[in-house]
Amino acid sequence: MPSKTMYSGLKFNYLKALIMTTAIECRDYRNFANDTCNFMRTTPDCKLDGGFINYLTFVFCNFDDKLVALGLTLLAGWLLVLFIGLGVTADSYFCPALRVIARVLRLSENIAGVTFLAFGNGAPDIFSAIAAVGSSKGGDVGLAFGALFGAGVFVTTVVAGTIGIATPFRSIQRPLLRDIIFFIIASFAAYVAMYDGKIYLAESLGFIIMYAVYLIILIGGYFINRQLKDRRALLQAAHTEAAAKTYGSIQTPLDQSVVSVDDTNGDVPDDNYAQPDVTFALSLRHAFLPRDDTPWSERSIINKIFSIIKMPVVIILHFTVPLVDYDKREHNWNKLLNSFHLLSGPLTVSILTRG
């Protein structure tokens, strides 16, 4: 009499042979309600090319059919954690690095935003779109292009609206109008190019040339605007110098130029004051414990919950990513922590890019 294990193995082999000999897609899992887990493991269409977690097998193999909703809820929570990690990475690491690059290269924030920031945001989309097009069946690339246009719509609607609600700001009219015009032209050109279901080489090169023209107009406008500002500054300085020669120099009253000794006592260090010695343990704590400028007691309940949720991501980034930040003391330089980054950074990259 065959055992239960042997019966399960024969059933698994039969299901695998059935899937390999017929054109079955992952969406057909409803037809295998009694053996969904083996269907997910054996169907080639259900296999994920990248990532550390196979979400399909996680849901259908670790949870019963009646508990699939629980598995989806856990994945929704995990998606929220990933979004928070993405936000923390962009806010605390990517934006400071972008400011450093812009300052070193003497670029304006507008140019840095549409070049380095755009490349940083768009580089993953390039590779994911290429992978989606390469793995598409029968020329169906709707997922790839739908994701690209959906991301653009999401950024211009949800992201802009959320920023406006959270932190009201005043935009610059001319650069914003220029970006909107180019976005409308690019969207219409993409619709025209994909209307017949085919994309030719000339159309592909046209999109790249369009972005090059956009950069030329952007950089050219920046230099023209800077020359106009320098010219205005020179004219204002010339007018000021002419007015000084005509009416005489402005004399500062004597009573305002004299500084009282009592006013400077707070700035003069006391010779008897001894700077406390910083122990090695205290320096280690300052180096390896991520700190926030706002004390814990002064935070709101929502801010405290958000800090607890994002703490694992903050700790991982703090120990693996070196950061130069002009807004922090000594530009966030720490000898102990940055020496540790020499080991933790390459080790983390090698683990995340395995296989």
Helices 201-247 & 173-194 angle (0-180, nearest 10): 170
Q: What is the DSSP string of 211-270?
A: HHHHHHHHHHHHHHHHHHHHHHHHHHHHHHHHHHHHH-PPPPPHHHH---TGGGTTTSPP
Assign 331 a pLDDT band (cuts: 50, 70, 90).
confident
Average pLDDT, stretch 4-29? 58
Instruction: Provide the pLDDT for residue 261.
Output: 44
Cα–Cα dist 123/265, whole Å? 56
Determine the residue type at 113. G
Average pLDDT, stretch 259-288? 53
Residue 269 has pLDDT above 80, yes or no: no
Please report the sign of the dihedral spanned by the C-alpha atoms of residue 52, residue 120, residue 176, residue 210: negative
Instruction: Provide the pLDDT for residue 37.
Output: 80
Residues 323, 53, 11: CA angle, nearest 5 degrees: 170
Render pLDDT for 62-79 as a digit per residue (tens, 0 to 9). Answer: 887 778 888 889 999 888
Contact between residue 29 and residue 39 where contact means Cβ atoms under 8 Å apart = yes
Instruction: From residue 32, give the alpha-carbon distance in Å to each of 39, 56, 113.
Output: 7, 14, 49
3-state helix, strand, coil in the chain (%, to 5): 75, 0, 25
Residue 35 CA, chain-centre distance (Å), reads 40
Cα–Cα dist 14/22, whole Å? 12
Structure tokens at 237: 């300085």
Render pLDDT for 28-43 as a digit per residue (tens, 0 to 9). Answer: 777 776 777 887 787 7
Instruction: From residue 312, give the alpha-carbon distance in Å to each of 54, 70, 73.
Output: 22, 23, 20
Render pLDDT for 136-195 as a digit per residue (tens, 0 to 9). Answer: 655 556 666 777 777 778 888 887 788 778 777 777 778 788 888 988 898 888 888 878
Q: What is the pTM of this model?
A: 0.59
Average pLDDT, stretch 268-272? 48
Assign 49 a pLDDT band (cuts: 50, 70, 90).
low
Render pLDDT for 115-135 as a digit per residue (tens, 0 to 9). Answer: 777 777 777 777 777 776 666
